[in-house]
């Protein structure tokens, strides 16, 4: 740094310094969304409008742990490069602004339009109201509106709030969408303790009537949060789709596949089957975009962190990242429908020089001829009988993140116990292993791995199974290795690209 710059920097107020661009801090993801500073949790109000993908999110403008919840805001034209914008909807002296969604009110059903040509964007969110701050657990949650008449860039809270109040303590996370056949707005919300998703409908977003309840069903071990109901296209069957109901339940997520008749969700997922969009420890509160252009596959974004330890992860001056935006399709195996997820294609624009292996036999541990902590890797392995094989990332000496496959158990796992710092929270160290059942396809395991400093997302077998996990490795630990414990495995192809940063 030049002396003049040192002098100038010395004079800068701290807050300005903290806002300097960079994205070069230890553990800072380079192609995942993170706020420049402070705490973030759920994605909110995902909506596409006039060429912009809006991303709102649960944000604490005052600090790096949960609190003062407001809606942070960013936009993108490609779901890869993001531009930060000022806080969109801020907490006020009565309400914190909890999770919710955003719709494009093309026909001005809400009447919020003030001038011809304006298209109201309407945010529907949960107000979290603490009446007496000495009793933080004595609260009320109900549903509120805010609207924007400048394409999502500035917001006004509706003076008629709340628009839906059951006088309940826990009642939150409205996801609203326009239902074409009934020409109504449909809202999915949760009663977290009861494990119920409630559906309400409205003609104008301001007055709501109860339609039906879904649940308890599937996994009811933890409280339910952040529901989403959407139509997902069936892979390879142009024009065909099914309805998918998604919800978070602490500390993971699940989904159900079926139909929606305008009143009820009719579940077709067998009662003994639990389907998860992600089997890793760090994927929560995922929701999808509203108002995508016709023919655009649905796009899911989740919070790549966990309520178990999220507030103590060793990142500064921000905490939490979002998963990559993921395109969704459905496929049927036997009698069960399941989601296929893949990172949005536009991400490939960040690829650097390809480094490749073809038909590489594996025995023991073998070093791949590329290094890096910001990489994309596509690999196809043919494991031998009774083997445990896979890939180690952030490898250096005995340290690494293991993405392994146990042939006997047909299980794909992530082991982050030796992948870096786990000391900041006992729960993080305890949740070091995540596994999911992944049958081989024609004897092959196909992995698509996106590794970005402190996040790894593993898509197996065309995204039928996904695992997302955080890790906090030494920046110098950047080796990539393949392994086959018993030997005899074959890597038919391994393609690795270093990825350029999406942040300037
Ligand atoms: C889920 C959640 C939501 C709530 C928000 C508060 O992570 O607990 O249910 O609206 O976070 O920040």
Write out pLDDT tens, residues 339-396. 999 999 999 999 999 999 999 999 999 999 999 999 999 999 999 999 999 999 999 9
Q: Are residues 431 and 310 in the same domain?
A: no
> What average pLDDT does range 287-302 have in this prediction?
97
Q: Are residues 292 and 396 in the same domain?
A: no
Residue 53: is it exposed, middle or buried by C-beta count within 10 angstroms (0-12/13-18/19+)? buried
Q: Are residues 223 and 207 in the same domain?
A: yes
Does residue 17 belong to any structural domain of this protein? yes
Give yes or no for residue 337 having a pLDDT over 60: yes
Q: Are residues 238 and 123 in the same domain?
A: yes
> What average pLDDT does range 307-333 have in this prediction?
97
CA–centroid distance, 42 to ligand 1, in Å, is 7
Does residue 30 belong to any structural domain of this protein? no
CA–centroid distance, 226 to ligand 1, in Å, is 7
Cα gap 138→197, rounded to integer Å: 23
Does residue 32 belong to any structural domain of this protein? no
Parent domain of 365: 351-498
Does residue 441 belong to any structural domain of this protein? yes
- Using the atom order of ligand 1, give the atom closest to the CA of residue 100: 10
pLDDT of residue 22: 81
Q: Are residues 334 and 483 in the same domain?
A: no
- Which has the higher per-residue pLDDT, 184 or 6? 184
CA–centroid distance, 196 to ligand 1, in Å, is 16
CB 387 within 8 A of CB 407: yes
Does residue 29 belong to any structural domain of this protein? no
The domain boundary, picked from 297, 316, 345, lies at 345
Q: State percent of the chain over pLDDT 90.
A: 92
Query: How do residues 281-290 score in pLDDT, each as one tens digit?
Result: 999 999 999 9
Q: Are residues 370 and 454 in the same domain?
A: yes
Cα gap 227→187, rounded to integer Å: 10
Q: Are residues 313 and 222 in the same domain?
A: yes
- Using the atom order of ligand 1, give the atom closest to the CA of residue 192: 9
Does residue 420 belong to any structural domain of this protein? yes
CA–centroid distance, 225 to ligand 1, in Å, is 7
- Using the atom order of ligand 1, give the atom closest to the CA of residue 98: 10
Does residue 503 belong to any structural domain of this protein? no
Mutate to test the pocket of ligand 1, among 38, 41, 61 (most ligand atoms within 8 A of CB): 41
Q: Whose CA is nearest to atom 9 of ligand 1?
A: 225
Name the domain count of the chain.
2
Query: How do residues 443-458 score in pLDDT, each as one tens digit?
Result: 999 999 999 999 999 9
Q: Are residues 355 and 340 in the same domain?
A: no
CB 340 within 8 A of CB 464: yes
The domain boundary, picked from 323, 345, 367, lies at 345
Start-to-end CA span in the chain (Å): 19
Residue 3: is it exposed, middle or buried by C-beta count within 10 angstroms (0-12/13-18/19+)? exposed
Domain with 304 in it: what CATH number? 2.115.10.20
Give yes or no for residue 131 having a pLDDT over 90: no
Give yes or no for residue 6 having a pLDDT over 80: no
Q: Are residues 385 and 287 in the same domain?
A: no
Q: Whose CA is nearest to atom 8 of ligand 1?
A: 225
Cα gap 227→104, rounded to integer Å: 19
Give yes or no for residue 108 having a pLDDT over 50: yes
Q: Are residues 331 and 380 in the same domain?
A: no
Query: How do residues 36-72 score in pLDDT, each as one tens digit?
Result: 999 999 999 999 999 999 999 999 999 999 999 999 9
Using the Cα atoms of residue 474, residue 476, residue 482 and residue 484 in order, give the sign of their dihedral. Answer: negative
By annotation, the residues acting in catalysis are 42
Cis amide bond preceding 314, omega within 30: no
Residue 375: is it exposed, middle or buried by C-beta count within 10 angstroms (0-12/13-18/19+)? buried
CB 460 within 8 A of CB 340: no
- Using the atom order of ligand 1, give the atom closest to the CA of residue 284: 7
Q: State percent of the chain over pLDDT 70.
A: 96
- Using the atom order of ligand 1, give the atom closest to the CA of residue 99: 10
Cα gap 228→504, rounded to integer Å: 33
Q: Are residues 321 and 470 in the same domain?
A: no
The domain boundary, picked from 320, 345, 370, lies at 345
Q: Are residues 314 and 391 in the same domain?
A: no
Domain with 487 in it: what CATH number? 2.60.120.560
CA–centroid distance, 435 to ligand 1, in Å, is 26
Which pTM was predicted?
0.95
pLDDT of residue 504: 76
Residue 242, Cβ neighbours under 10 Å: how many?
16
- Per the document, the length of the chain is 504
CA–centroid distance, 286 to ligand 1, in Å, is 11
Residue 6, Cβ neighbours under 10 Å: how many?
10
Give yes or no for residue 484 having a pLDDT over 60: yes
Cis amide bond preceding 345, omega within 30: no
* pLDDT bracket for residue 135 (50, 70, 90): confident
Does residue 425 belong to any structural domain of this protein? yes
Q: Which residues line ligand 1 (CB under 6 A)?
A: 41-42, 58, 69, 98-99, 126, 172-173, 225-226, 285
């Amino acid at each position: 740094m030049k002396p003049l710059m040192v002098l100038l920097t010395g004079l800068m107020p701290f807050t300005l310094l903290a806002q300097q661009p960079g994205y070069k801090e230890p553990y800072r993801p380079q192609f995942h969304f993170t706020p420049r500073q402070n705490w973030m949790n759920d994605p909110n109000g995902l909506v596409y409008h006039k060429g912009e993908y809006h991303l709102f999110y649960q944000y604490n403008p005052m600090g790096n742990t949960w609190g003062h919840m407001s809606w942070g805001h960013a936009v993108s034209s490609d779901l890869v490069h993001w531009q930060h914008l000022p806080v969109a909807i801020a907490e006020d002296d009565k309400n914190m602004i909890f999770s919710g969604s955003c719709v494009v009110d093309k026909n001005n059903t809400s009447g919020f339009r003030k001038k011809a040509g304006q298209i109201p964007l309407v945010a529907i969110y949960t107000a979290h109201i603490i009446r007496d701050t000495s009793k933080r657990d004595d609260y009320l949650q109900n549903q509120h509106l805010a609207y924007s008449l400048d394409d999502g860039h500035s917001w006004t809270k509706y003076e008629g709030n709340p628009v839906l109040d059951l006088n309940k303590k826990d009642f939150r996370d409205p996801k609203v969408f326009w239902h074409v056949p009934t020409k109504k707005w449909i809202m999915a919300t949760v009663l977290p303790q009861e494990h119920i998703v409630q559906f309400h409908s409205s003609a104008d977003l301001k007055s709501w009537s109860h339609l039906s309840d879904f649940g308890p069903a599937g996994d009811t071990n933890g409280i339910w949060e952040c529901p989403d109901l959407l139509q997902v296209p069936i892979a390879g069957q142009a024009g065909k789709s099914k309805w998918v109901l998604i919800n978070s339940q602490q500390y993971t997520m699940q989904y159900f596949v079926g139909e929606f008749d305008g009143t009820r969700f009719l579940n077709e997922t067998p009662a003994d089957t639990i389907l998860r969009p992600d089997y890793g420890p760090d994927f929560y509160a995922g929701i999808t975009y509203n108002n995508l252009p016709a023919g655009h596959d649905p796009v899911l974004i989740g919070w790549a962190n966990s309520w178990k330890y999220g507030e103590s992860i060793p990142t500064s001056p921000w905490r939490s990242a979002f998963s990559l935006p993921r395109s969704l399709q459905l496929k049927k195996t036997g009698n069960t429908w399941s989601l296929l997820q893949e990172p949005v294609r536009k991400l490939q624009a960040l690829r650097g020089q390809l480094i490749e292996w073809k038909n590489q036999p594996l025995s023991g541990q073998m070093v791949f001829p590329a290094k890096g902590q910001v990489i994309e890797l596509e690999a196809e392995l043919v494991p031998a009988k009774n083997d445990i094989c896979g890939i180690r990332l952030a490898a250096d000496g005995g340290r690494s993140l293991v993405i392994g496959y146990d042939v006997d158990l047909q299980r794909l796992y992530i082991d982050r116990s030796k992948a870096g710092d786990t000391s900041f929270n006992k729960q993080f160290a305890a949740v070091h292993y995540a596994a999911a059942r992944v049958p081989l396809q024609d004897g092959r395991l196909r992995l698509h791995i996106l590794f970005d400093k402190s996040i790894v997302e593993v898509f197996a077998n065309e995204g039928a199974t996904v695992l997302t996990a955080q890790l906090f490795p030494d920046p110098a630990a950047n080796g990539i290795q393949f392994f086959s414990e018993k030997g005899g495995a074959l890597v038919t192809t391994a393609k690795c690209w270093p990825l350029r940063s999406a942040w300037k």
